[in-house]
Chain A
């Protein structure tokens, strides 16, 4: 029974379908269309530096907004009785199970000129374009990924013993210092996994910006999509840079998370 053998098919599977493809990206990024070594894909990729920075920026802002919105709801959920917790978890999860394109599409319907929100604002005398700008893109991202922030925060905070909070209160902490000294330090693993689960997909997503943003708002995912069909080498170089940036971010984040947990 104590065998290692059963894991062999999966190890082979990973080698073939995860690591060989990544190696191929690496290979394509350093070759030209005839297969010779070149750095040209990277020089071309550098032309999209502004898009790259903008994507990271949009992802950062969206992650921050998600965190600010999700933290209180995670905490509130974690302090309910078990049955209420289950119902609220379900309520948060259901929208996540709707197709991701349909959820963005819903915002197109809501935000378009002549749409429900626009009509309401016009009645109040506010005339503004709601769609086709960076704000709409960020709104779409927050909507898309909010549950991914709420759920890990909630599941970590649900493990915090109520007695611990009461003890802190008995020992003279006010509500703010209970949050700062008890709840926050214990919730850091939840923050780390929530930030990971929101930042990675929002930095690399495509279509959200195409649907909700303007022409100038496209993100790096959209660039990869557009370029890859015609120029695989440059596409591969951009994908490689994106992956490297995200892994770097994850390493820093985990380092930070561990550090905090010890302190």
Chain B
């Protein structure tokens, strides 16, 4: 890398990480302000004692897992079907699927809230876990479709037919050939869904009803009320988790790349 490129890259990285590092530093500050008053771990112990935060963490994880599993199944099936449509119909369905991706979160949130409130009045239910889950599946599935479609397009159907000729029944051939081929696309769709679901605030905010809490909502309440160093501790922990996950995924990628290289 040339010197000027190096300096520029370093500046951008500094800009992106400085706020996070600042939060991490202040998460160890024995004081409530941004004046350093000595080292402490009390905000971390406070955090783990806060049962509301722990339960909203569970809610977030459960919603993210369920939503991304269902979205992956729904989206993969959709992609297989869409691939067999031709011409205008196919473009129509794909564009319909993109509407969800392109419309602003706040519009999606408000629109779903309108529908859920009306249904709630008609069928006597309150918004909560289920409505949030439905909303998350709705905004995750288009990303799965987007990730799986290109893999199907490049799939060789004769392999599937060969599997049938070699004695697989349809389900076995589907599982061993089609799913196997689509796996990388399904996996990245799942991963995208999972992160978007974990990170979502706006849509959850409008569809959660009065009492259902996720981590984003919890953070919103915390930042809205008053500044508490517990948020710093939470940020620091989330950063470490994300960092660890990214390193693991990256190492795994590299390992499989190497294995593939060896096989060739």
* Contact segment of A7-15, A40-48, A130-138, A183-191: A7-15
Report yes or no: B160 in contact with A102, Cβ–Cβ below 8 A: no
Query: If A10-B75, A18-B99, A247-B102 touch, does A97 touch B199 (CB 8 Å cutoff)?
Result: yes
B107 contacts A9, C-beta separation under 8 Å = no
Asked whether B35 lies within 8 Å of A8 as measured between CB atoms, the reply is: no
The residues of B that contact A236 with a CB separation of less than 8 Å are 110, 114
**Beta-carbon nearest neighbor of B250 in chain A:** A90
| A236 CB, min distance to chain B CBs, angstroms | 7
Majority DSSP secondary structure for residues of A touching B: helix
Contact with B160, one of A1, A28, A80, A147 (Cβ below 8 angstroms): A1
- Nearest B residue to A142 via CB reads B15
Docked CA distance A28–B250 (Å): 48
A21 touches B114 (CB 8 A): yes
Contact: B8 with A94, CB < 8 Å?
Answer: no
Q: Does A206 have its Cβ within 8 Å of any Cβ on chain B?
A: yes
Report whether B107 and A94 are in contact in the complex, using a CB–CB cutoff of 8 Å. no
8 Å CB interface, B50-101 against A? 74-75, 77-82, 84-85, 93, 96-97, 99-100
- Chain B interface residue bracket vs A: 35 or more
Q: Is the CB of A80 within 8 A of B239?
A: no
Of residues 121 to 164 in A, which have CB atoms within 8 Å of B's CB atoms? 143, 146-147
Q: List 13 A-B contacts (CB under 8 A).
A: A2-B84, A14-B100, A18-B96, A22-B103, A95-B16, A97-B195, A99-B235, A106-B22, A110-B18, A146-B15, A204-B104, A243-B104, A246-B103
> Known contacts A18-B138, A24-B111, A207-B201; can you find 20 more A-B pairs with CB under 8 A?
A1-B157, A7-B79, A11-B93, A18-B108, A19-B96, A20-B115, A21-B112, A25-B110, A76-B1, A91-B16, A95-B17, A102-B23, A104-B223, A105-B231, A143-B15, A200-B102, A204-B106, A211-B223, A221-B104, A224-B110
Query: Interface of A with B (CB < 8 Å)?
Result: 1-11, 13-14, 17-22, 24-25, 28, 69, 72-73, 76-77, 80, 86-88, 90-95, 97-110, 112, 114-116, 143, 146-147, 196, 200-201, 203-207, 211, 221, 224-225, 228, 232, 235-236, 239, 242-243, 246-247, 250
